[in-house]
Every structure is written in structure tokens, then in C-alpha cells.
A and B are shown apart, each in its own frame.
Chain A
């Protein structure tokens, strides 16, 4: 499977750097964050508000699903033709008087931007909120070179003035409430005094006053981009406050840092994304302002226009066919707002620029799953599938989470490494290694559960479990690796009798009852029982990974529900059934 054998250049995936690495693994970070009850209350309020708005405006469009499918298909086209599209984009920007730079990693992008700012002689820049510049740590880098970058988005300004970290893609200060924000403004803005109230209207007014002079006097701006159109060289920024328009219009020099995956082939493609993004993101029909610019327009706006195309691990994500659709992300943050894990843990627990479900698949792929802390991220999910339901470009986040868990397990077993392409046939080159406690437990469970006879024997131990549970009928401590479970919750006492035993004694009654009702299912009932008992996994010796991925991706009803996000639950009477429907998605 070596690439050189097929005459291709041997290029090994190169991972990203910067603010992509968590400093603490997710479980420990989440535990600490969950102690912050104010933060949790703020996030709960905000995410519940916005998910309601999103559902309303997405449901308003009769062709929402068609738009999602088109968005997904366009992004697939982009990835497949990325080299040609990037070169086409560069040609068109250049033809219109702009300059395109290429940056392999965070360090190179920071150096390019710093040199461009230095060339203008300015030591001040105004910034539009951008995930890419946050990812590469541009602000800190510029500060190290004596350049002050002022965030002009209200939420980013709150974070910057509070010397805090963003916790949400769209609303980075979502973890702060109005009173906390007022205190920050009062302490950090010279223009404010005690008369400042904590009304959002007053706080927005304070930000307007604080930044007005900056907008009028600063000659260099730095932005990200939501979309870059290959066919025309057009860049797009989607925003609400007008700070974006200010930065894109008034300065003489404009430097835009854009991830290479933000390319779209044609101007017409914007008609899809400009419908999907605002409705998914802020839950509005359209955001207040969207700006587009193509190179330099003489006499209107900046006359010194630069674009830095950033890799920083994106090509490593692209290298894994099972995970690369994470690059389709348009950074709407809808997945954060519906995620039960994000709602409890908050954005800081993810440790990376990219929090929430999308962060849990993007960050570990950008850095490589061998990064110890980021390897914990794919487990930061209950796999409920709500993120997939709302994703405007249909990224199957649960499937990629399971895939990355598999990659993590195989990495720890020495079956794969991020040095040689992830696509290598890892299973065939298993290195001898002592099995972990988890492996032994899984092996044991596999041995027992794959045979009806062995399972029946194991069930004879149920009374023992009841004895351990005691009078409160809960088991709150298990030894070894299984203790990871009981650290967080109790296990209910096992029942007196297993369902299998009960069924063996009552199957006949059921058959009689069905017969009395006029049905005819005797044989079918028997068949089901036998099928379950015999099991089907005897042939599977490779335990964990196969079973996990099989469990979530297999059995999806092909061509099922293509309807609204909640449709899957409609006909399902029980919680369990509903969960299954969502796992499988049914929207392929």
C-alpha cells in the first residue's frame, strides 16, 4: 500500500501546532469545569435559547434537507479537487491586485502576518473574530513582536479584556453573564463609570464607544474568512455587529488568514452556504452583515490586500478518508448548542480552539491522535447523534468519533502510528504487546457473551451481585479498570433473574396469548430465541474495535428518514428506540 510504489510522492501527514492541544485530558478538565455552577447555568441558558431558534428557522425552509445535501456534496467536491481550486483561487486574487501567501503551519503563518504588519510600520492592528488566527495563536505572537492586536467582536473583546479564553465558536463569552461582563468593562474600559448598567444594550453601547476611535485610526486589519471562492478569488466574512465591515473597509492594509478547506469552487456555491450558515449558527434567517471582497477595488477599501492560506494539520486530516469530512465544517457551532456533553462541561474543558462535538473530531485529527490529551476528546460524547442531526453540511460526527476511538485504541496497542499514513493496513502488522486490563475484560466478555451456554452459566452469579449491592440496591465500587464506571455513577443491583431465564419459562405463554389474539408467531418466537442464544460473534476474535464500529454504523436503514431533524423520534415509543434511530442517522 505504499504510495511510492504507485509512483506518487511519498508525503507523510504533518500535524498542526498552536492552540489545538489540550493541556489537560478531557475527563479531568471537565470535572474541574463542572464545579463552576455559574458557568454551567450561563451555558445551559444560552445553548437552550439558540437551539430553539435554530430549529425554528431551519424548519421554516421547505428545502432545508436539499440545502444540507448540496452543502455536503459541494464540500466533498472541494476536498477532491483542492489543489486545483487553491491554485485557481490564488490566480484570481493575484489578478485582482491581492497577494496570496502559503503557510505550512502556525509558526509560518504567524511569521508571515508579523512581517506584513511590520512592513506597514504600524504597531497596532484591529482584528475580526477568527478561529484560524486563534488556532495559530496570532495575537500572542504579534504581542511578542511589539504589535497590539485589538479584538473588535464584542464577545472576543470581553474575553480579551477579561484575560480569559473563548468557550464557544460563535459566542466566545457564552460562559459569562451580563453582570460579569459589566464588571470586566468597568475595570478595563477607561470610558466607563459606575453608571454603566448590566443591560446588554448599555454594554453594547460601551463597546461601540470604546472601539470607535480604533476603527477610525488603525491602518492594518487582520481577519479570517468564512469562504474563499476559487472561480473569482472572492473572500467572504459573515458577521453581525459591523466590526467586520469596519475592519474590512477602513484600514489601508487587510491581512486574511484562511484555512485551505474554506475554499468553495464557484460564486454560485455561496447561495447554499449563505442559507445554511446563519440559520444554523445564530438561528437567524440571515446575519446582519456579510461582506465580500475580491483583491483590491481601487478607491474603495484597503489597497494592500493579503491572504494567508493555512495548512497547520489540515492535510493530515485529509489523509484519513474516514475522518476527513471534519474539514467540511463551516464553523456554525450548531453541534455545540445541542450537545449534552458540551452543555455540562462547557467549552474550556475541550482545551482546544475548537470545542464541542466538532472539536472532538477536529482537534485530535489536526494534532494526531497520539497527542495524549487530545486522544481523550473522541470519548467526550455520548454518541447520541444530535450533532449529526443539526450539522448543516451533514458531517457524521458520531461515526468519526467512533472511528477515532478505534484509532486511539489501535495507537495504544502499537497497531498504528501517526508517522506513517493512517491508511496503512495496521491490522496486519500488530506488534507484540502486553494486553491491557481493558483488553482482558473485553476478551473475557466476548468469550462469555458469544456462547449461550457460557452466558447462562455467568448469569448464575446474579445473586452474588445482589448481595454486593446490599440494601440500597446499588453497586458504587468496582475494582480496576471497571472502577472508571463506578467513579461517576452507581450500578443498579442486578435483577433476581435474567431475562433469558424468565423467557425460557414464559415463552410458551406468550405464544399462547398471541395465538388467542389470532396471530401465528409460534415458530418465529422460537427462532428469535435460538438466534440470540447462538450468537453471531463467534467468528470475531478481535474484540473491541470491530464491535464498536459495527454497533453504530451497521444496520442503518438505508434511504430512511430524509426529513426534519426530529422526525426520527416521531414514531418511536421508547427512549431506547429513539436513540437507535438517531445513531443510525438515516440521512446518508
Chain B
């Protein structure tokens, strides 16, 4: 008896025996944007709001105050080890940042139950696509491992204006394919009941996007 792989490949080759080589795919769809930067950023904002994400425009100076405001006076929140600390507000007695080392095997890594107990997470992002309102996380040091941006119920995500592109092909070209990629388009949602969209199921139910320029 042949092994399954050999047999399946033989079946495919048998089935394809008379198949002429098809013409190569033509990529005549839009692959690069011809819009102005400000137009593209406005489009991203519009799409995110449409998904019921909250969008805030900040500068390096106003960013820590905005994050403090979004966290509220009392919060334990997780941040990836590579995040720029100058973005964050000073810790207070009631508001504290927990730094995750980015490797679940490390002794200081937060366990899933600890993550489930924190109030929020703050991360950066790799690239964002305006046309679809999609933010890409790719596990870089300032984005952290996937669990930290998933388990907490509130995700505050910083998007640098220079990382915003208009189209999906432009965004995917900036992603390292073998990295763990999470594409986020608004807070978690379901349309499973009568196709009525409800925001907030298993992923973070609140998504705050800060456009940093």
C-alpha cells in the first residue's frame, strides 16, 4: 500500500493529465494609491468609525494624556516590552503598566489568566489599510505576542500616520509573511443572529485607535 501523500499526488497528476498550462494571472487591479496622504488618513478614520472603533488624533505631546484618559483613573494594563515608554502616562497608585517580555516562555510573561484579569492593552502597529479600515499587527517588539492584544477586553492601538496606506496590496507588501499576523478591522463582532451586527464577542470589545502624527 502506498502512503497517502504519494497516492494523492498521483491522483492529482492523473486528473490533470490533459490540462494545458493556463495563462498567468493578470494583476490589473489597483496596486498603488494615487490619493493624497491626508485623504487616505481620513478614509481610515471613516472606516474605523463605521466599525464602531473610537478614533483619536494625537501628537507625541498629547499622546500620554490621551492614553491616561482612555484607561481611566484605575487600570492595570499590559504593554509589550518594545513599546516606546514615552507614549505612556506616569504610573499612579491606581494605574499601572505591566510589561510583557514578548515570549510566553519567559518567567516574567503574563499567563492567560493574568491577561484575563487586566483592564486593557496598549500596542503599536505595523501598517494600516485605509480602504478596508484594517490595522496589521505582526508580532514586532512594540506590538507584542498575540495573546496580549487578544485576551484583555480593551485594546488601545497606536497607528503612526506614516504607516497608513490606502490599499490592501500596499499593506500586505509591508508585512513579513512568516510573522504571526493579526489583521484587525474594528472590535470583535458577530452577525450570526439574524445577520444583525453586534460589536463585542470574544476579542476586545472596545477598540480605541490613536492616529499619531
Contact = CB atoms under 8 A, between A and B. Distances in A.
Interface size range on A against B: 35 or more
Interface stretch (A62-70, A409-417, A431-439, A534-542): A62-70
Contacts of A108: 4
Given A8-B17, A11-B11, A83-B13, A286 B185 contact: yes
Given A70-B27, A268-B172, A297-B139, A204 B198 contact: yes
Contacts of A379: none
B169 A287 contact: no
A154 B193 CA distance: 8
B105 interface: yes
Given A200-B198, A250-B147, A311-B8, A289 B17 contact: no
B27 to A, nearest CB: 6
A434 B200 CA distance: 63
Which size class do B's interface residues fall under? 35 or more
A13 B18 CA distance: 15
B194 A77 contact: no
A13 B189 CA distance: 42
B134 A270 contact: no
Given A108-B4, A201-B198, A318-B15, A287 B22 contact: no
A73 B27 CA distance: 10
Interface in B126-183: 129, 131-134, 139, 145-147, 150-151, 168-169, 172-173, 177-183
Interface in A279-311: 282, 284-295, 297-301, 309, 311
Contacts of A270: 172
Nearest to A14: B11
Contact of B188 (A104, A171, A285, A289): A289
B16 A79 contact: yes
B192 A158 contact: yes
A232 B189 CA distance: 30
A270 B173 CA distance: 10
Listed residue (B15, B21, B51, B200) with the most chain A CB atoms within 10 angstroms of its CB: B15
A68 to B, nearest CB: 9
Given A216-B113, A249-B150, A62 B19 contact: no
Given A73-B23, A267-B172, A289-B183, A272 B29 contact: yes
Contact of B134 (A154, A241, A286): A286
A319 B51 CA distance: 44
A285 B172 CA distance: 16
Given A73-B25, A73-B26, A153 B203 contact: no
Name the residue among A234, A241, A248, A291 with the largest chain B CB count within 10 angstroms: A241
Interface in A209-263: 211-212, 215-216, 229, 231-234, 240-243, 245-246, 248-250, 260
Interface string B74-106: 000000000000000000000000000011111
Contacts of A86: 8-9, 12
A243 B192 contact: no
A154 B25 contact: no
Given A14-B11, A285-B132, A299-B105, A243 B51 contact: no
Nearest to A6: B17
A10 interface: yes
B183 A70 contact: no
Contact of A83 (B9, B151, B189, B192): B9
A86 B185 CA distance: 31
Interface stretch (A44-52, A188-196, A366-374): A44-52
A216 B202 CA distance: 12
Contacts of B30: 62-63
Contact of A286 (B26, B113, B183): B183
A118 interface: no
B8 A104 contact: yes
Contact of B189 (A46, A153, A171, A288): A288
A218 B151 CA distance: 14
B35 to A, nearest CB: 13
In this complex, the member of B10, B23, B113, B193 whose beta carbon has the largest number of chain A beta carbons within 10 angstroms is B193
Contact of B202 (A242, A286, A293): A242
A102 B5 contact: yes
A285 B201 contact: no
A42 interface: yes
Interface string A8-45: 11111110000000000000000000000000001001
Given A63-B29, A275-B29, 9 more contacts: A11-B10, A83-B16, A200-B190, A200-B193, A200-B194, A204-B190, A282-B191, A299-B104, A316-B15
The 5 closest A-B pairs by CB, nearest first: A242-B203, A11-B14, A299-B103, A73-B25, A242-B202
13 contacts: A8-B13, A11-B13, A62-B30, A73-B22, A152-B202, A205-B200, A216-B112, A231-B177, A241-B202, A271-B169, A274-B168, A286-B129, A301-B147
Interface of B: 3-5, 7-19, 21-31, 47, 51, 102-106, 109, 112-113, 116, 129, 131-134, 139, 145-147, 150-151, 168-169, 172-173, 177-196, 198, 200-204
